[in-house]
Amino acid sequence: MKEETIINKDISEENITAQQECIEDEWEVVYERPYTLIDTHMHYCPGCAHSVIHKLISEVIQEMDIQDKVVGVAPVGCAVFAYDYLDFDMQEAAHGRATAVATGIKRILPYRYVFTYQGDGDLAAIGTAETIHTMNRGENILIVFVNNAVYGMTSGQMAPTTLPGMKTTTSPYGRDVHTMGYPLKMANLVSQLPGAFYVTRQAVNTPLNVRKAKKALQNAFKYQQLAKGTCFVEFVGNCPSNWKMTPIEANEFVAKEMIKEFPLGDLKVPSSEDLKFLEVEEGVV
């Protein structure tokens, strides 16, 4: 419904434009893409959790201003090209061996922030020995584990974390736990190791979860300064393509089914005694 009114002659054009200008001046940027995330098209499927997690890692490292002190290790899996999107020195590891590669890097460069980024096949199938032994030694690195219950890059085979009854290309009748085993709860397993310093499970399917996940990553990177053990951040992710769902449906599946099987939260937190010497900075989530 349009309404026409008369503009009073007393008020000049200037006042009205001044009002417009005031509105323009007051805009501030409250969110923009981090520069440590390379300005390029990412190959991940629409809605993929990998892209969100890449974004969070880039934000955290940018805000901590440690881009020149970070070395990352990329896995074999959908994130094999992580080094094309993250603007840090990175190494590509053989399948499953990222934590061993990270051990080699950290032993040579103890004053760098070293992190691995691995999927469920990489960390929980072929790389289980390396994962457990690296954490058992308490290597001072960060392990980022993206758990989406399938092998994405190779088109949807069963993973060690596939849910019971879930259909994949190698469990076409649904995962039968009697012949195929149970989903591995890696965060729970590794939280029992004395070498683990901070173990948590997060998700990125809602804005609130994204905020919490970023806080977890911030802590995990900061704790590496203390050199008191391994930080392990598991992400309950999604795979819209291989779950045969839209991104919105996939994130609902995460909320309803995945988080039921893999509950979110901290599984091992350092004591305040452990954190005594941590430099406290004015961080913004």
Partner 1 sequence: MANENAPVKAKKVRKVKGRVEIDIQKCKGCELCTVVCKENTLTLSKEINNKGYRYIVSVNDDCTGCINCALVCPDAVIKVYRTTLRKKELIAEISNVSSSVSIKIENPVVEDLKNMEYM
Partner 2 sequence: MENEEIRLMKGNEALAEAAIQAKCDAYFGYPITPQSEVLEYLSLQMPKRGGIVLQAESEVAAINMIYGAAGAGGRVMTTSSSPGISLMQEGISYIASAQLPCLLVNVNRGGPGLGTIQPSQGDYFQATKGGGHGDYHLIVLAPASVQEMADFVFLGFELADKYRNPVMILSDGAIGQMMEKVKFPKRDVQKISKPWATTGKTEHRQRNIITSLFIQPEKMEKVNIQLVEKYKKVTENEIRYEEIQTKDAEYLLVAYGLSARISHKTLQLARAKGLKVGLLRPITLYPYPYEAINKIADHLKGILTVELNAGQMVEDVRLGVNGKVPVQYYGRMGGIIPGPDEILENLESFISKVK
Sign of CA dihedral 42, 201, 110, 278: positive
Based on the shown chain and the rule CB under 8 A, indicate whether residue 180 belongs to the binding site for partner 2: no
C-beta of 227 vs 248, nearer to partner 1: 248
The long-range contacts involving 126-132, CB below 8 angstroms and separated by at least 24 positions, are 126/95, 126/96, 127/95, 127/96, 127/97, 127/98, 127/99, 128/96, 130/96, 130/97, 130/98, 130/99, 130/100, 131/99, 131/186, 131/190, 132/189, 132/190, 132/193
Contact characters 91-130, partner 2, x per CB under 8 A: xxxx--x--xxxxxx-xxx--x----------------xx
Element (DSSP H or E) covering residue 197:
strand 196-203
* Smallest separation, CB 17 to partner 1 (Å): 11
Scanning the structure block, which residue is given the tokens 């032993």?
107
Q: Binding partner of residue 94 among partner 1, partner 2, none, CB under 5 to 8 Å per kind? A: partner 2
Q: Identify which of residues 45 and 132 has a Cβ nearer to partner 1 in the complex.
A: 45
Q: How many CA atoms lie within 13 A of 161 on its CB side?
A: 33
| Residues 122-181 interacting with partner 1 (rule: CB under 8 A) | none
Classify residue 81 by burial, with Cβ atoms within 10 Å: 0-12, 13-18, 19+: middle
Closest listed residue to residue 49, CA positions, set 187, 233, 203: 203
4 vs 68, beta carbon nearer partner 1:
4
Which position among 13, 26, 65, 68 is part of the footprint of partner 1 (CB under 8 A)?
A: 26
Q: C-beta of 153: minimal distance to partner 1 in Å?
A: 17
Does 57 contact partner 2 by CB under 8 A? no
Does position 56 bind partner 2 by CB under 8 A? no
Closest contact distance (angstroms) between CB of 167 and partner 2 is 29
> Which residue in this structure is represented by tokens 């993250």?
86
Q: Which residues contact partner 2 by CB under 8 A?
A: 67-71, 73-74, 80, 83, 87-94, 97, 100-105, 107-109, 112, 129-130, 133
Binding site for partner 1 (CB under 8 A): 1-8, 10-11, 15-16, 18-19, 22-23, 26-34, 37, 41-42, 44-52, 55, 204-207, 210-211, 240, 246-248, 251
